[in-house]
């Protein structure tokens, strides 16, 4: 084994580090080590290890691999005492955080989503799974007093690395929890939805945040970023215009952005970067976690879980979905999102009743899993946790609800014959995704009031009468539209909305008027050219009625008696999603002059949502 450079730091006096009793305890009872762990190809990954001093028992290892830095570097301690991670400290876990290959203080070349390599033949054949294997192997052999049981967890991009860790095959790896894992950046993560570029998130992440900037050598300094600060994102992104204008400001240094521009359709490049591609006979137990209202990775948790069931059925897999924004389950407050309240601290409940007991069971042999169901799902609307033996539940009935004349939404198809509603979609005045003036993309838009959109002439709104009984939805939502358009391409945004009664009192915290509030329950976008194939896009025939059918992420929501169900249909969602020129051109190479107005018809009766109604 090559020489390791291990840097060992004694804890600082608690006078300089301690900010409360937990920080005092942590600093006095844990020691920090910084090591560079060699991979099979000789590259070394910088790793921080927080290890209990006491030797009265053997300790499990819990790892997070991250592209976001394992800082602080040097003698300072990571402030685990500020979060529920202190529970793991009190349980005696060895906590490990590692800079992944090519980021921060680790050597090697970084790749935004490194494809899984199922055919490793030499020591030069590496991926994130092999880096995890090599890291675990070193840890169980070199960290004193470990019990030989290893877990991996992570949120967002660290969730992707957790998924890949599960494919490593190391026998010491017993439990993995991918949380809001980056999974498929073409279909549903924060770069794309159904092939539509999520412009604001993608540009800010890769360019503004500097995530994709090259890093020639290990460093503790963040990457250089591009200043895209402002006050009004709608105006800023609209002024930037067509996508080539965005590409110009990136230069030729952002490899992943450049590749996205070269791969507008689903192809081998995208398929290789699907985190689920290696799912087969996954050995560790899996706890997949996500948020119902996660604006960044709302696709990953649902679809990682379903892929495990389908491609690795022998794996012990569990799913937890709460009413959370991105990472809210790891926060101290899971009581609300924006103006919508959940009546309890859902984050604390998850931490205390599911995550920590789950890792304790697999890594310490402590307790049981009797109270943790196959799927534990929070239902907004009724604000209750429900437990299921499977997801989606067996007792769900796919139930169509039809778009009708005069803005009606009905469970009964009318027999009046074919008619339609019309709107003009103008790329020069796209429909905003949120009402407020702001620059950074909000996380609250996932439950925001949609009354601002209902007032626009380029948004069609359909609503039921007041409900006479509760209706609960549990599972994927399907939009099935019959449309005709005047040009050759269009996008379709479909939103499912819960309309609160007019006498609903104001939100006591935000003071927002909740009477008649149109709560977004689920919304997503579909690029019409992909209606038949994401690999081979097709132009529309102007004026020809055409089916556009797509599946939105799962819903877990109860529309209460006295509320109304609403559906909105529109053709832009800006600047959340990039604008469609509404002509069949390569959007990533389009010119500003390519963007044109278009007349869109949505046909009644044939256009519907298929709701997963729970009996």
Per-residue pLDDT of 171-222, as tens digits, reads 999 999 999 999 999 999 889 999 999 999 999 888 877 788 888 899 999 8
The answer to whether 128 and 100 have CB atoms below 8 angstroms apart is: yes
Helix axes 243-250, 255-262, angle to 10 degrees: 150
Bridge partners, 103 (sequence order): none
Q: Is the pLDDT of residue 368 over 90?
A: yes
Tell me which CATH homologous superfamily contains domain 192-271: alpha-amino acid ester hydrolase ( Helical cap domain) (1.10.3020.10)
The share of the chain scoring above pLDDT 70, in percent, equals: 96
The pLDDT score that the predictor gives to residue 179 is 98
249 — pLDDT class (breaks 50, 70, 90)? confident
Q: Which two tokens stand for residue 394?
A: 């067996």
The answer to whether 358 and 352 have CB atoms below 8 angstroms apart is: no
255 — pLDDT class (breaks 50, 70, 90)? confident
The pLDDT score that the predictor gives to residue 71 is 97
Residue whose C-alpha is closest to residue 438's, from 581, 166, 237? 237
Q: Is the pLDDT of residue 27 over 80?
A: yes
> C-alpha distances in angstroms, 365 versus 147, 149, 174, 178, 571?
11, 10, 11, 21, 53
Dihedral of CA 194/198/203/209: which sign?
A: negative
Region of poorest pLDDT, from 20-24, 104-108, 298-302: 20-24
Q: Which two tokens stand for residue 610?
A: 């298929």
* pLDDT tens per residue, range 30-88: 999 999 999 999 999 999 999 999 888 999 999 999 999 999 999 999 999 999 999 99
> C-alpha distances in angstroms, 194 versus 114, 206, 264, 366?
21, 19, 11, 42
Residue whose C-alpha is closest to residue 360's, from 97, 52, 92, 30? 92
Q: In the chain, what are the domain boundaries? A: 6-184+273-388, 192-271, 396-614
Mean pLDDT confidence for 509-536: 97
Any alpha helices (H) in 95-227, and if so which ranges? 128-142, 157-165, 199-203
DSSP classification of residue 451: H
The pLDDT score that the predictor gives to residue 16 is 39
DSSP codes, 150-177: EEEEEESHHHHHHHHHTTS--TTEEEEE
* pLDDT tens per residue, range 387-438: 999 999 999 999 999 999 999 999 999 877 789 999 999 999 999 999 999 9
Distance (Å, rounded) from C-alpha 509 to C-alpha 548? 41
Q: Is the pLDDT of residue 524 over 60?
A: yes
The pLDDT score that the predictor gives to residue 190 is 86
Residue 365 — φ and ψ, nearest 5°? 65, 30
The pLDDT score that the predictor gives to residue 253 is 63
The pLDDT score that the predictor gives to residue 48 is 98
- What is the average pLDDT score of the chain? 94
Dihedral of CA 66/68/70/74: which sign?
A: positive
Which residues lie closer than 8 Å to 120 by C-beta, 6 or more apart?
A: 126, 127, 130
Mean pLDDT confidence for 305-324: 98
The answer to whether 278 and 605 have CB atoms below 8 angstroms apart is: no
Q: Contacts by 202-211 with C-beta closer than 8 Å and gap 24+?
A: 202/257, 202/260, 203/228, 203/246, 204/228, 204/440, 204/441, 206/112, 206/250, 206/254, 206/256, 206/257, 207/246, 207/249, 207/250, 207/254, 207/257, 211/67, 211/112
The pLDDT score that the predictor gives to residue 230 is 85
> C-alpha distances in angstroms, 9 versus 112, 476, 493, 517, 559?
32, 51, 54, 55, 56
Which residues lie closer than 8 Å to 172 by C-beta, 6 or more apart?
A: 136, 137, 140, 148, 149, 150
The pLDDT score that the predictor gives to residue 55 is 85
The pLDDT score that the predictor gives to residue 18 is 42
Identify the CATH assignment for 396-614 out of 2.40.50.100, 3.20.20.220, 2.60.120.260, 3.40.50.2000: 2.60.120.260
CATH number of 6-184+273-388: 3.40.50.1820
Region of poorest pLDDT, from 415-429, 548-562, 564-578: 415-429
Dihedral of CA 104/106/110/112: which sign?
A: negative
Mean pLDDT confidence for 325-340: 98
Mean pLDDT confidence for 562-575: 98
Q: Is the pLDDT of residue 11 over 50?
A: no
DSSP classification of residue 593: G
- Give the pairing of strands 491-499 and 518-527: antiparallel
């Amino acid at each position: 084994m090559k020489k390791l450079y291990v840097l060992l730091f004694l804890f600082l006096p608690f006078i300089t580090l301690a900010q409360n009793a937990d920080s005092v305890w942590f600093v006095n009872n844990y020691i920090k080590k910084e090591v560079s762990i060699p991979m099979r190809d000789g590259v070394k990954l910088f790793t921080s290890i927080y290890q209990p001093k006491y030797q009265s028992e053997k300790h499990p290892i819990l790892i997070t691999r991250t592209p976001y830095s394992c800082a602080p570097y040097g003698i300072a301690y990571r402030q685990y005492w500020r979060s529920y991670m202190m529970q793991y400290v009190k349980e005696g876990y060895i906590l490990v955080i590692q800079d992944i290959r090519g980021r921060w203080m680790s050597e090697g070349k970084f790749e935004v989503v490194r494809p899984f390599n199922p055919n490793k033949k030499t020591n030069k054949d590496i991926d994130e799974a092999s880096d995890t294997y090599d890291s675990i192997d070193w840890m169980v052999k070199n960290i004193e007093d470990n019990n030989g049981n290893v877990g991996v967890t992570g949120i967002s991009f660290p969730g992707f690395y957790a998924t890949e860790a599960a494919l490593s095959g190391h026998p010491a790896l017993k439990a993995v929890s991918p949380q809001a894992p980056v999974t498929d950046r073409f279909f549903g993560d924060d770069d794309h939805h159904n092939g539509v570029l999520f412009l604001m998130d993608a540009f800010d992440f890769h360019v503004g945040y500097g995530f994709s900037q090259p890093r020639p050598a290990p460093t503790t300094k963040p990457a250089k970023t591009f200043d895209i600060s402002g006050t009004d994102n709608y105006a800023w992104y609209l002024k930037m215009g067509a996508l080539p204008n965005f590409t110009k400001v990136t230069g030729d240094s952002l490899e992943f952005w450049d590749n996205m521009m070269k791969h507008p359709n689903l192809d081998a490049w995208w398929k290789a970067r699907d985190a689920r591609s290696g799912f087969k006979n996954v050995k560790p137990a899996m706890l997949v976690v996500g948020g119902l209202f996660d604006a960044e990775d709302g696709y990953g948790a649902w679809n990682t879980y379903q892929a495990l069931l389908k491609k690795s059925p022998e794996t012990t897999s569990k799913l937890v979905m709460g009413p959370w924004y991105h990472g809210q389950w790891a926060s101290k407050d899971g009581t609300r999102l924006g103006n919508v309240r959940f009546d309890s601290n859902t984050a604390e409940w998850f931490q205390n009743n599911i995550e920590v007991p789950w890792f304790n069971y697999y890594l310490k042999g402590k307790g049981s899993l009797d109270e943790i169901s196959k799927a534990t799902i929070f239902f907004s609307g009724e604000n209750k946790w429900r437990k299921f033996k499977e997801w989606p539940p067996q007792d769900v009935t796919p139930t169509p609800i039809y778009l009708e004349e005069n803005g009606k939404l009905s469970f009964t198809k009318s027999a009046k014959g074919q008619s339609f509603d019309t709107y003009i979609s103008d790329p020069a005045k796209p429909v905003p995704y949120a009402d407020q003036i702001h620059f950074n993309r909000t996380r609250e838009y996932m439950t925001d009031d949609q009354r601002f959109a209902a007032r626009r002439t380029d948004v069609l709104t359909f609503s039921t009468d007041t409900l006479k009984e509760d209706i609960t939805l549990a599972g994927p939502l399907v939009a099935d539209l019959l449309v005709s358009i005047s040009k050759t391409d269009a996008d379709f945004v479909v939103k499912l909305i819960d309309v609160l009664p007019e006498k609903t009192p104001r939100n006591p915290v935000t003071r927002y008027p909740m009477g008649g509030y149109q709560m977004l329950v689920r919304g997503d976008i579909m690029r019409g050219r992909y209606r038949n194939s994401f690999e081979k896009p097709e132009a529309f025939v102007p004026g020809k009625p055409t089916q556009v059918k797509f599946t939105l992420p799962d819903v877990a929501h109860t529309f209460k008696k006295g509320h109304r169900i609403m559906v909105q249909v529109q053709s832009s969602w800006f600047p959340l999603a990039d604008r469609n020129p509404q002509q069949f051109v390569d959007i990533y190479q389009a010119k500003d002059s390519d963007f044109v107005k278009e007349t869109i018809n949505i046909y009644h009766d044939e256009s519907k949502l298929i709701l997963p109604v729970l009996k």
